[in-house]
Amino acid sequence: MTTLAKERAQALYDARRTRVPIAPFTDEDPTLGMADGYAIQEELVSLLLADGDRIDGYKVGLTSEPMQKMIGVDSPDYGPVLGSTVYRDGAEIPLHRFIAPKVEAEIVFVLGEALRGPGVTTSVARAALAGAAAGMEIVDSRIAGWRIKLADTVGDLASNGAVAISSRIVPLEDIDSRLLGMTLTRNGELIDTGAGAAALGDPVAVVAWLANVLGENGVTLEAGHVVMTGALHAAVAMQPGDVFRADFDRLGPVTVRVGE
C-alpha cells in the first residue's frame, strides 16, 4: 500500500494546488477502508509539512450519528489543522482557494497542557483544556462532487479546508459543553441551530477520543493545539458575499465573510 498511498497523496496534493478535483479512490478500489485512508493522509501531511506548513491542532469529523450512518461507520475520523488554514474571527475567506467549500459551526477547544493516550477519559481531557472558543470549519473536498466514502475523506485530511476561531477563550468552569446552544445565520437570516451534544454526545469526549487514537500512533496533543470537535448542524454551501455568523451560549460569536 505504501507506493499506492504515496501516489494517492500526490494526487490530493496536486488537487489542492490546482483546485481541480480528482475521482474517488474508492471508485478504483471499493475495498479501501479507514486504515488505507490514514496511510494516504500520513503521506499527504508529509508533503504539506515539507512545504513549510505546520500542525496547529486537529479536526474531528463524523462526530454525529447521522453523519456516521451516511458514511457507514461507527466512529469519528480526524485530520490535522494546518497553520496556513487558520483564520481569525471576522476574516474574509477567499473562495478561490477552495473547490467546493461548505461552512460548519463547531465548538473549539484549546489545550492548556499536553494530552496523550491511551487511557484518557473525558474528565482527564477536560482538566487538560485551557478553554473553549466559538469556531467555524470550512470543509472542502478534493474529491469530485463530494462523492466520498470513508477512505476518500480520511485521506483528504478528513475533508478539512480551513478554520476560523474566535480569539476569546472561555474557561470551562461551570460550563457544560453538551448544553451549549448555537445559532447560525447567513446574511442576518437564521439558517440552522445546534447544541454541543451533537458532537459525540459531549464535545469533551471528542478530545478524549482524539487523544487516545493519536496516542496509539505515538502522537501527543500539545499545549496550544486546537481541537475542532465536529459540526453541530448540516454543512452549508458558501457563495461570494455571504456573511456567516455563529453565536454560541457562553462562548460568544464568530463571523466569516466569503470573498471571491
Mean pLDDT of the chain: 95
Share of the chain above pLDDT 70, in %: 99
pLDDT-derived band of residue 1, with 50, 70 and 90 as boundaries? low
- What mean pLDDT do residues 203-209 have? 97
- What mean pLDDT do residues 165-183 have? 96
Q: Which CATH architecture has domain 2-259?
A: Alpha-Beta Complex (3.90)
pLDDT tens per residue across span 20-71 = 999 999 999 999 999 999 999 999 999 999 999 999 999 999 887 767 777 7
pLDDT tens per residue across span 107-126 = 999 999 999 999 999 999 99
- What mean pLDDT do residues 214-236 have? 96
Cα gap 182→220, rounded to integer Å: 30
Q: pTM for this one? A: 0.96
CA dihedral 199, 216, 132, 241 (to 10 degrees): -70
Residue 187, Cβ neighbours under 10 Å: how many?
11
Q: What is the pLDDT of residue 51?
A: 98
Share of the chain above pLDDT 90, in %: 93
Cα gap 7→5, rounded to integer Å: 5
pLDDT-derived band of residue 209, with 50, 70 and 90 as boundaries? very high
Q: What is the DSSP string of 154-220?
A: HHTGGGEEEEEE-S-PBP-TT--GGG-EEEEEETTEEEEEEEGGGTTTSHHHHHHHHHHHHHHTT--
Q: Taking 90 as the threshold, does the pLDDT of residue 13 lie above it?
A: yes
Q: What is the pLDDT of residue 64?
A: 78
pLDDT-derived band of residue 73, with 50, 70 and 90 as boundaries? confident
